[in-house]
Structure 1
């Protein structure tokens, strides 16, 4: 099960993602938490120091992960010909959430034997004036598309803020995307736009809204009225959580006035996984779109051959 949290910056998406990870851990699930936000908040919220040399997007780590994923897949000319949408094929190695999996063992920080944390990374001094964070995210897209569909663990991703996920394939990679919205015009406008783009991308049913910092019933009604959909979960102002954070403690479900919204999010996700066939169709369409870009053809040649034949 793959679930992402996004929303306007400051909406509480990273904190809610961290709380959800802890909820899953307490329930005994295997969890891979992925910090994909340029601001790198999820890893510290889980007690992990996000060092630049450990970042998934560090060039050495990109090559290591892609070399592992490539395996014996002859549809890909080499690790340097991976693009963001490169799919697995015959001979590819898939990633599991087993702690012995080579990708987790080499690149993830364990919280315990059932929970691990990866962080994509952020801008480094060398990137100033020449780097684009979307390029950092390509290795995450490769990792997500090469996850073993038979694995029964959870991937929880703190996504880039706002609608940046539509610049690449991230919007098509998750079973559910939780847009965290505060009852303010600015936060609502981001959530509304996210839902509009999801509809245009064919993943409207994967996107849900969680209300955060909701003070009263008027706030709840405001969210539902402005977004045209009821939030699947609503969290209040959470004074206990604020006190814990002010004390420098990582957020935990027991800091909440009521942790039931976390269980509701989990149940909702479990009720609506995207089928393997549908995801393959979405990713195939996106790969062909990427393959048609001039810079991709110039750098990698024709990557349409990375796709397998269409199955009926």
Structure 2
């Protein structure tokens, strides 16, 4: 099951993404298949998971290995002429190489590292040479490609820390999750981001649950209820544990206050309760690919990228036997 954490910059979404991943992985490495991905332009998830700052910046970046990622995922798909013809929205088809959450593959071997007991992949920072000439979404495109080729199941988890605000709607990545958790402070500015996000998301049937953060008292909860209504799933109160986490000190997850631990468990239970719809997931991916093909991608590559769509292909467990293994 795949979850995204979104919200206003500074709302604490990275902290909650890290805490949720650590809570899920608390049983120990390998017990629960788990993959965390930092898809935020501000690459702080590794630090939130407990990596020292100097180690966090040394993690291998998905965005730096996009040609390798494309070549591997292309596999023997006859609809894709070359890795160069693949764009961020290229969908999987018969002959593509599909990923599972924990299964071995060259991409994970090269780019996934254990950080604080959590397997983590990062898109990579916005480098100096990118300033003024590149869009960060070219790096996030690696994440979209991975999720377009990923088959996950019950009791398997992918936790993605997304870009702040409504910026994640600049790609089709926002449709790649079973549930989206919008972290919202009890402030007018944070609520305004919620309203903007929810307005876009509901047009695509995206499940959005609000998680209140930095809650001090009942008045904060009342404010969130008034502003977001039934979308409020749960909330996390201020605490010494979370304050330490936001300062880069990852205490043992077992020390988290019971009320806040229960909030994280509810996030997981809510995700577990989602019914996967692989046909919808595939259809939405194809829709955004065709939009990109028409808007810019076909012209950029010099090929009609609408032909990359395999009309009889539906991503999901049943597609694993169609993959190039």
Task: Provide the TM-score with structure 1 as the length reference.
Answer: 0.91
| Structure 1 stretches lacking a partner, 5+ long | none
Structure 2 residue corresponding to 1:197, chosen from 191, 196, 200: 200
Instruction: Give the distance between the partners of 2:75 and 2:109, measured in 1 at CA.
Output: 17
Instruction: Give the distance between the partners of 1:53 and 1:81, measured in 2 at CA.
Output: 27
Deviation of 1:75 (Å): 0.6
Which residue number corresponds to residue 228 of structure 1? 229
Which residue number corresponds to residue 278 of structure 2? 276
> Where do residues 144-155 of structure 1 align in structure 2 (5 Å cutoff)?
144-149=147-152, 152-155=155-158
Deviation of 1:300 (Å): 4.1
Cα shift readout 1:73-94 (whole Å, capped 9, x = no counterpart):
1111111111111011111111
From the superposition, tell whether residues 173 and 209 of structure 1 become closer, same or farther in structure 2 (CA, over 3 Å): same
Deviation of 1:125 (Å): 1.2
| Structure 2 stretches lacking a partner, 5+ long | 315-325
Task: Provide the TM-score with structure 2 as the length reference.
Answer: 0.88
**How large is the RMSD of aligned CA atoms in angstroms?**
2.1
From the superposition, tell whether residues 245 and 311 of structure 1 become closer, same or farther in structure 2 (CA, over 3 Å): closer
Which residue number corresponds to residue 35 of structure 1? 38
How many residues are treated as equivalent by the alignment?
Answer: 306
> Where do residues 207-218 of structure 1 align in structure 2 (5 Å cutoff)?
207-218=208-219
> Where do residues 1-312 of structure 1 align in structure 2 (5 Å cutoff)?
1-27=1-27, 28-48=31-51, 49-51=55-57, 54-58=60-64, 61-98=65-102, 100-111=104-115, 115-149=118-152, 152-200=155-203, 202-204=204-206, 206-243=207-244, 245-246=246-247, 248-250=248-250, 252-257=252-257, 258=259, 259-294=261-296, 296-309=298-311
Instruction: Give the distance between the partners of 1:13 and 1:134, measured in 2 at CA.
Output: 19
Cα shift readout 1:128-186 (whole Å, capped 9, x = no counterpart):
11111111111110001111245852110000011111111111100011000000001
Question: Are 1:42 and 1:158, in contact at CA under 8 Å, matched by a contact in 2?
Answer: yes
Instruction: Give the distance between the partners of 2:246 and 2:300, measured in 1 at CA.
Output: 48
Greater Cα shift, 67-76 or 147-156: 147-156
Greater Cα shift, 298-307 or 76-85: 298-307
From the superposition, tell whether residues 57 and 276 of structure 1 become closer, same or farther in structure 2 (CA, over 3 Å): same
* Aligned-partner SS, 2:70: helix
Question: Are 1:171 and 1:203, in contact at CA under 8 Å, matched by a contact in 2?
Answer: no
Dislocated runs of 4+, deviation >6 Å: none
Instruction: Give the distance between the partners of 1:149 and 1:281, measured in 2 at CA.
Output: 17
